[in-house]
């Protein structure tokens, strides 16, 4: 294994792979229905990387020190035979951890096979536990009851962790924070609050719709005392907190108010094989072209060059990059 670092001396540890560009939801802050209607052209199956191609790419990244894989989308559980891919990736030397980010609507049925195949952790999007607001926030597609049942199954399973991702938007679900916490307090389910981010160009992001981490914390502390705890590892995305008088952990993803680019060791791969070195990237590196025309030695050199020339730190400089219009969309790289 050869550790490589980028121009800001950051290693590569984490690869997030979008295995599906489509989704069964139409969340307004990611895939608004009016922009992603029935006429929208998603990828054709042959345009998506095959499992063998994903395997080849991950093998190269594992050679550079990547040990964690996160499968994302769109909605990754729409990709057929996903357990087959998990088994393949888990067989790669160096890959220690495979996680999945999902909206949970299809999770309960598929969970046993995913776990048998080697899935270690799951993050489930849950912006509210109010069933009508949930339905609305999913673009009138998702049913809360189904997702809550899937969370219970995941909790009772052998998965190493179950985390909930709640994107907080002022005037949309900022009044849902305490009820969500109350539901999972004294459990091992980690509830994470994500500051609404200006990912892509289609989610109507406004600065004044962002509830900053400090404000969320103040809101929580009116009810419960919480204390900051150390990260599990260097470069962990969420700031971790624990209740003082209860069991349970809360996380905060603070890209707007407290950027965490200095330790960012994450790369992202789209379903059609484009490599992105930042969630807010405008530039893509086409690995599929090289996969289908070159050997893995070439691929290795190409990926090494991309990473060693990386200097992304968008969240630290977003205020200087006013109105950049060409950022990649969230559904393409799955967050």
Question: Minimum distance from CB of 193 to ligand SF4 (Å)?
Answer: 17
**One residue of 260, 285, 302, 307 binding ligand SF4 per CB under 6 A:** 260
Residue 315 interacting with ligand SF4 (CB under 6 A): yes
**One residue of 31, 60, 166, 264 binding ligand SF4 per CB under 6 A:** 264
Per-position x/- string for 213-252, each x denoting binding to ligand SF4 as judged by CB under 6 A, each - no binding: ----------------------------------------
User: Segment contacting ligand SF4 (CB under 6 A): 114-122, 154-162, 212-220, 258-266?
Assistant: 258-266
Sole residue written with tokens 């729409």: 78
Question: Minimum distance from CB of 265 to ligand SF4 (Å)?
Answer: 8
What is the rounded distance in angstroms from the CA atom of residue 165 to the CA atom of residue 192?
Answer: 5
What is the rounded distance in angstroms from the CA atom of residue 19 to the CA atom of residue 253?
Answer: 23
**One residue of 249, 314, 327, 332 binding ligand SF4 per CB under 6 A:** 314
Residue 151 interacting with ligand SF4 (CB under 6 A): no
Residue 278 interacting with ligand SF4 (CB under 6 A): yes
Name residues whose C-beta falls within 8 Å of residue 221's C-beta, 6 or more positions apart in sequence. none
**One residue of 280, 302, 307, 331 binding ligand SF4 per CB under 6 A:** 280
**Residue 304 CB-density burial (10 A; 0-12 exposed, 13-18 middle, 19+ buried):** middle
Residue 312 interacting with ligand SF4 (CB under 6 A): yes
Per the DSSP assignment, residues forming a β-bridge with 101 are 123
Nearer to ligand SF4, 173 or 265 (CB): 265
Nearer to ligand SF4, 134 or 314 (CB): 314
Strand-pair category, 161-168 with 189-195:
parallel
Question: Minimum distance from CB of 241 to ligand SF4 (Å)?
Answer: 20
Q: Are 91 and 108 in contact (CB under 8 A)?
A: no
**One residue of 86, 279, 303, 328 binding ligand SF4 per CB under 6 A:** 279
Alpha-carbon dihedral 105, 17, 168, 322, rounded to 10 degrees: -140
CB atoms within 10 A of CB 218: 10
Q: Are 238 and 252 in contact (CB under 8 A)?
A: yes
Q: Angle CA(158)–CA(163)–CA(166) in degrees, nearest 5?
A: 155
Q: Are 331 and 74 in contact (CB under 8 A)?
A: yes
- Tell me the three state secondary structure of residue 122: strand
Nearer to ligand SF4, 103 or 254 (CB): 254
Question: Minimum distance from CB of 318 to ligand SF4 (Å)?
Answer: 8
Q: Are 109 and 129 in contact (CB under 8 A)?
A: no
Q: How many residues bind to ligand SF4 according to rule CB under 6 A?
A: 11
User: Segment contacting ligand SF4 (CB under 6 A): 20-28, 89-97, 134-142, 313-321?
Assistant: 313-321
Nearer to ligand SF4, 82 or 330 (CB): 330
CB atoms within 10 A of CB 211: 22
Q: Which residues bind ligand SF4 (CB under 6 A)?
A: 260-261, 264, 266, 278-280, 312-315
């Amino acid at each position: 294994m050869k550790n490589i670092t980028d121009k800001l001396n950051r290693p590569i540890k984490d690869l997030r792979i979008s295995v599906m560009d489509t989704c069964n939801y139409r969340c307004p802050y990611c895939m608004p229905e009016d922009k992603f209607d029935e006429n929208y052209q998603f990828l054709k199956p042959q345009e998506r990387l095959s499992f063998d191609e994903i395997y080849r790419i991950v093998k190269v990244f594992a050679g550079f020190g990547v040990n964690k894989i996160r499968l994302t989308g769109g909605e990754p559980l729409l990709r057929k035979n996903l357990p087959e891919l998990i088994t393949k990736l888990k067989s790669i030397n160096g890959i220690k951890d495979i996680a999945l980010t999902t909206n949970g609507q299809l999770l309960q049925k598929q969970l046993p096979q995913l776990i048998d195949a080697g899935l270690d952790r799951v993050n489930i999007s849950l912006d509210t536990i109010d069933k009508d607001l949930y339905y609305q926030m999913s673009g009138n597609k998702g049913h809360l009851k189904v997702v809550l049942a899937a969370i219970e199954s995941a909790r009772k399973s052998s998965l190493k962790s179950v985390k909930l991702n709640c994107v907080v938007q002022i005037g949309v679900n900022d009044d849902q924070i305490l009820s969500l916490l109350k539901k999972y307090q004294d459990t091992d389910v980690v509830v994470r609050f994500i500051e609404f981010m200006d990912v892509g160009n289609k989610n109507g992001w406004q600065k004044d719709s962002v509830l900053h981490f400090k404000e969320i914390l103040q809101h929580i502390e009116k009810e419960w005392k919480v204390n900051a705890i150390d990260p599990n590892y260097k470069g962990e995305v969420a700031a971790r907190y624990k209740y003082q008088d209860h069991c349970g952990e809360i996380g905060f993803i603070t890209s707007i108010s407290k950027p965490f680019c200095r330790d960012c060791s994450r790369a992202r791969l789209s379903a059609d094989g484009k490599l992105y070195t930042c969630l807010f990237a405008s530039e893509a590196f086409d690995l599929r072209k090289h996969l289908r025309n070159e050997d893995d030695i070439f691929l290795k050199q190409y990926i090494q060059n991309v990473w060693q020339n990386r200097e992304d730190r968008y969240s630290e400089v977003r205020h200087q990059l006013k109105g950049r219009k060409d950022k990649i969309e969230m559904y393409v790289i799955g967050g």
